């Protein structure tokens, strides 16, 4: 006869099992019967082509952005934020996925995203989603509409030098959507995720009245020595031709700045209207508001290194003028991030998605290359968030890959199989004019980029542009015959 199991062991075993099962059951019961805390809304505003140094909140002397300054008082203002790409499509796809262009597949305007987006995730977790874009390359063909229940494309009429009546169509569509959202009874209302892409600031700088004369008087059409036909400072093509030909008189530069600032002020007034509306709806406190741009803009900076294409614009120019972006994050009141501060450490737009995911109370995806900035928002004086900012894209089939540290910037260009590189010492050459000869640094950064690229992986599929997209890119000055 086998020995009989000892009673106390038997009891202990069962007690342990029942206790564990009971604890699990109790936790499940509290989860299932509990009420879901109200998740914050998310308003993501991407201001195309906006340089931070033209915003009052970043120290600009002209009053271009009183509404953003006001928002800044409730927000964390990131003083050194950099984009991962200088083209709108790749950069926006990063803002919506938290992945580098090679990872999400939209490496150039006209390409299509190949991974799920934040909107899809939020839509699946019960968010009411809407997207309003002002640029064709961010429209349905790009795949960035995925996850948005409502998605609208509103081109900016003034960029075609048409009548100015449609300049505000995107803003009006956004406010209209928000108004309809408020009509849903509070108890059955889902939190919203609204993405508003604003194209107004992008060239051509041609704001409607009164913004066209708010920061200076603008000349009308006129003859310009060496310029074929009449010169119109409000026309991006005229401006580019005259500038590249070296025949643009300096007085026009002030006019261009005034027009650029006018566009910013127009946008800022509209944003003020939206923020006021959120307040009157009672939704401001429970809404995470993010204001960020996809890239900056070169406004008459000249670079002697010869690495970049000359003239105005931003694409494929990896100077701080086109890479530094404003990034303002207003948390919801429930986040209890009460001590609003300016964050001085370098951050990247790749960090935005993990930050937002954490602020919305969702688990931070393991595969995202960015880091959540919430910890830095809790302790603004903490150590460097990242020592290197990486960037990468393939505008017009030319591959650019690079990194930026506090002191150095290193860019590799691969065109038709030929590789060239640029090394800038940002401390001793802040205007980014000269290619540094440091072989040690070059080797170090080459190795860093190689390792980063290897770790990053790639979806590596490039598709042919559709005719409609080709036309849209030509219209936007991104594609030439």
- Residues forming contacts to another protein in the complex (CB under 8 A) are 1-3, 5, 9-10, 13-14, 16-18, 20-22, 24-25, 28, 31-34, 36, 39, 97-99, 103-104, 115-118, 120-121, 124-126, 353, 357, 361-363, 365-368, 457, 459
Q: Find the helix packing angle between 236-244 and 250-281, rounded to 10°.
A: 140
Nearest approach, Cβ of residue 466 and another protein (Å) = 25
Nearest approach, Cβ of residue 121 and another protein (Å) = 4
Nearest approach, Cβ of residue 19 and another protein (Å) = 10
Name all contacts of 218-227 with Cβ < 8 Å and 24+ positions apart.
218/255, 218/258, 218/259, 219/252, 219/255, 224/248, 224/249
Nearest approach, Cβ of residue 114 and another protein (Å) = 9
Of residues 22 and 249, the one with the C-beta less far from another protein: 22
Nearest approach, Cβ of residue 352 and another protein (Å) = 12
CA distance 263 to 212: 8
Nearest approach, Cβ of residue 31 and another protein (Å) = 5
Nearest approach, Cβ of residue 76 and another protein (Å) = 23
Of residues 115 and 325, the one with the C-beta less far from another protein: 115
Nearest approach, Cβ of residue 428 and another protein (Å) = 38
Is residue 390 within 8 Å of 348, Cβ to Cβ? yes
Residues shown for the chain: 481
Of residues 17 and 229, the one with the C-beta less far from another protein: 17
Is residue 414 within 8 Å of 449, Cβ to Cβ? no
Of residues 114 and 438, the one with the C-beta less far from another protein: 114
Of residues 191 and 313, the one with the C-beta less far from another protein: 191
Nearest approach, Cβ of residue 119 and another protein (Å) = 9
Nearest approach, Cβ of residue 137 and another protein (Å) = 21
Of residues 6 and 480, the one with the C-beta less far from another protein: 6
Of residues 121 and 200, the one with the C-beta less far from another protein: 121
The owner of tokens 């609003």 is 340
Of residues 39 and 174, the one with the C-beta less far from another protein: 39
Nearest in space to 356 (alpha carbons), one of 186, 181, 191: 191
Sheet holding 408-415, edge to edge: 389-393, 399-404, 408-415, 418-425
Of residues 93 and 233, the one with the C-beta less far from another protein: 93
CA distance 275 to 71: 8
Of residues 365 and 380, the one with the C-beta less far from another protein: 365
Exposed, middle or buried: residue 158 (CB in 10 Å: 0-12, 13-18, 19+)?
Answer: buried
Bridge partners of 224, per DSSP, are none
Nearest approach, Cβ of residue 305 and another protein (Å) = 34
Nearest approach, Cβ of residue 395 and another protein (Å) = 22
Of residues 200 and 394, the one with the C-beta less far from another protein: 394
CA distance 158 to 165: 8
Of residues 115 and 239, the one with the C-beta less far from another protein: 115
Query: Is the link from the previous residue into 118 a cis peptide, with omega within 30 of 0?
Result: no
């Amino acid at each position: 006869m086998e020995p009989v199991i000892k009673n106390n062991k038997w009891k202990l075993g069962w007690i342990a099992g029942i206790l564990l099962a009971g604890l699990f059951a109790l936790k499940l019961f509290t989860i299932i019967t509990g009420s879901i805390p109200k998740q914050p809304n998310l308003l993501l505003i991407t201001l195309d082509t906006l340089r931070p140094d033209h915003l009052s909140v970043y120290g600009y002397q002209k009053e271009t952005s009183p509404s953003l300054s006001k928002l800044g008082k409730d927000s964390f203002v990131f003083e050194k934020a950099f984009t991962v790409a200088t083209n709108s499509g790749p950069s926006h796809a990063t803002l919506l996925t938290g992945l580098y262009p090679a990872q999400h597949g939209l490496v150039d305007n006209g390409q299509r995203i190949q991974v799920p987006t934040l909107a899809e995730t939020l839509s699946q977790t019960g968010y009411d989603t809407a997207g309003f874009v002002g640029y064709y390359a961010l429209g349905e063909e790009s795949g960035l509409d995925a996850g948005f229940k409502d998605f609208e494309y509103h081109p900016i009429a003034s960029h075609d030098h048409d009548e100015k009546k449609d300049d505000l169509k995107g803003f009006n569509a956004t406010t209209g959507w928000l108004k309809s959202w408020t009509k849903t009874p509070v108890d059955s209302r889902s939190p919203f995720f609204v993405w508003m892409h604003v194209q107004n600031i992008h060239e051509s700088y041609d704001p409607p009245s009164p913004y066209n004369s708010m920061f200076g008087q603008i000349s009308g059409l006129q003859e310009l020595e060496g310029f074929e036909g009449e010169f119109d400072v409000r026309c991006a093509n005229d401006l580019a031709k005259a500038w590249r030909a070296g025949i643009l008189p300096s007085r026009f530069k002030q006019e261009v700045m005034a027009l650029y600032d006018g566009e910013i002020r127009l946008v800022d007034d509209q944003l003020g209207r939206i923020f006021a509306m959120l307040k009157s709806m009672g939704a401001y406190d429970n809404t995470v508001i993010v204001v960020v741009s996809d890239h900056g803009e070169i406004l008459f900076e000249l670079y002697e290194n010869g690495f970049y294409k000359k003239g105005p614009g931003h694409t494929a120019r990896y100077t701080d003028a086109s890479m530094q972006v404003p990034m303002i994050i207003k948390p919801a009141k429930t986040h209890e991030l009460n001590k609003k501060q300016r964050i001085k450490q370098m951050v990247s737009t790749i960090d935005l998605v993990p930050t937002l995911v954490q602020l919305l109370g969702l688990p931070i995806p393991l595969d995202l290359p960015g880091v959540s900035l919430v910890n830095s928002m809790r302790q603004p004086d903490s150590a460097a968030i990242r020592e290197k900012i990486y960037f990468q894209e393939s505008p017009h089939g030319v591959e650019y890959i690079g990194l930026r540290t506090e002191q150095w910037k290193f860019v590799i260009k691969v065109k038709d199989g030929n590789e060239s590189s640029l090394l800038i010492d940002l401390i001793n050459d802040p205007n980014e004019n000269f290619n540094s000869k440091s072989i040690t640094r070059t080797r170090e950064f080459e190795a860093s980029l190689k390792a980063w690229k290897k770790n990053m992986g790639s979806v590596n599929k490039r598709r042919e542009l559709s005719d409609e997209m080709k036309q849209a890119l030509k219209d936007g000055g991104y594609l030439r015959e």
